[in-house]
Structure 1
Amino acid sequence: MTETVGIKLATPDDAQAILNLLKQLSQESSAILVPHLDTLTVEQEAYSLYDINDSTDSLILLAQYRNHPIGIVTIMELADRPQVGELGVAVLKDFWRNGIGSLLVDEATYWFANYSTLQKLVLDVFDDNVPAIKLYQKYGFVKTGEAKVTDQQGQQRAAVLMEFQPAAADHD
């Protein structure tokens, strides 16, 4: 029997598992940027998840394998740009190249197109992360610019700015 990966909406009950996942992801990649991760409590995360699930401008989905989170996708409205959501995707290194990132991006863009009140969906990705750039292009993200982004180690790195434009999707 083949085991499958499931996608589920993150709920307040997932707060501890999400914090554990984010901590592991931040150790595996300098691209994971979660402000105040070390000081965030389970109660704060649970409250945030409650708020997020009650909104039409934010989303958190988990990829799970054997009932353990192995990936996450978020869409969060940007504080300085109303009606603009930022997409974030991360998958544990042991599960890379298994289509999990694709599943998460596909679900997130579907939610954006069909359920959110956001007008735009954007992201930034380090320019040396070619597999991620190709994944985003496959699902309709187009390059809109370049920027310098500070990574987890405090280093300035070149990043590609992208915006979701469904007509640009290149589904196989």
Structure 2
Amino acid sequence: MNYQLLRNGQMLTIREAKHEDASMFLDYISKVGAETDNLTFGEGEFGISEEEEANFIKSLAKSDNQLMVCAFLDGKLVGQLVFRGGLRQRVRHTGEFGITVLKEHWHKGVGSELINYLITWARKSIIIRKINLRVRSDNHNAINLYKKYGFISEGAITREFFINGKFFDSIHMGLEID
């Protein structure tokens, strides 16, 4: 477990996910999916059973190039990060992450601490040499956060998202780990 003091004085706890957390994660994902249009899924679209989620967490825990961590404030799940490394030998060194934070906890440093945890984990590994992400091109707060940690823009994909009848582009960003 990792403990970090946030800007507002609250103590954030970050730990790796356990398969017993599956139900809690699904409740969290349901809530976060309804709060923002910045994700690849919306309200009710996640579509995974508790058993599937538990098996997913187990598979990540067995892997040496994948990670799922969660952030808690006062025992409540407020953020989550999932990093999925490549499955084949030629791409095991790289992967992509997704991150979510409950809207009521935006701008408190939760996302920063989750990203910092990921980068520290990747640097300690002997496998991960590149971290990738995708972000909606109009999500300037997230883009600025990623840039703060050294991620650079590596290109854009047009029409990556289709939300409420409107297309949105995404920016692909990456961080080389040396």
TM-score, normalization: structure 1?
A: 0.86
Cα–Cα, structure 1 residues 31 and 44, in superposed 2: closer, same or farther, change >3 Å? same
Q: Does 1:75 align with 2:83?
A: yes
Q: Secondary structure at the match of 2:155?
A: strand
Could you tell me how far apart the structure 1 residues matched to 2:120 and 2:168 are?
30
Q: Does 1:58 align with 2:66?
A: yes
Identify the residue that residue 125 of structure 2 maps to in structure 1: 115
Question: What percentage of aligned pairs have identical amino acids?
Answer: 25
The answer on whether the counterparts of 1:141 and 1:166 sit within 8 Å (CA) in structure 2 is: no
What is the one-letter code of the residue matched to 2:66? Answer: S
Identify the residue that residue 161 of structure 1 maps to in structure 2: 172
What 5-or-longer segments of structure 1 have no aligned partner?
A: 168-172
The answer on whether the counterparts of 2:161 and 2:170 sit within 8 Å (CA) in structure 1 is: no
What 5-or-longer segments of structure 2 have no aligned partner?
A: 1-8
State the 1:23 CA deviation: 1.0
What is the one-letter code of the residue matched to 1:61? Answer: V
Identify the residue that residue 100 of structure 1 maps to in structure 2: 110
TM-score, normalization: structure 2?
A: 0.83
Q: Aligned Cα RMSD in Å? A: 2.4
What is the one-letter code of the residue matched to 2:130? Answer: K
Q: Secondary structure at the match of 2:91?
A: strand
Aligned residues: 166
Consecutive aligned runs of 4 or more in structure 1 exceeding 3 Å deviation: 34-39, 78-81, 151-155
Identify the residue that residue 25 of structure 2 maps to in structure 1: 18
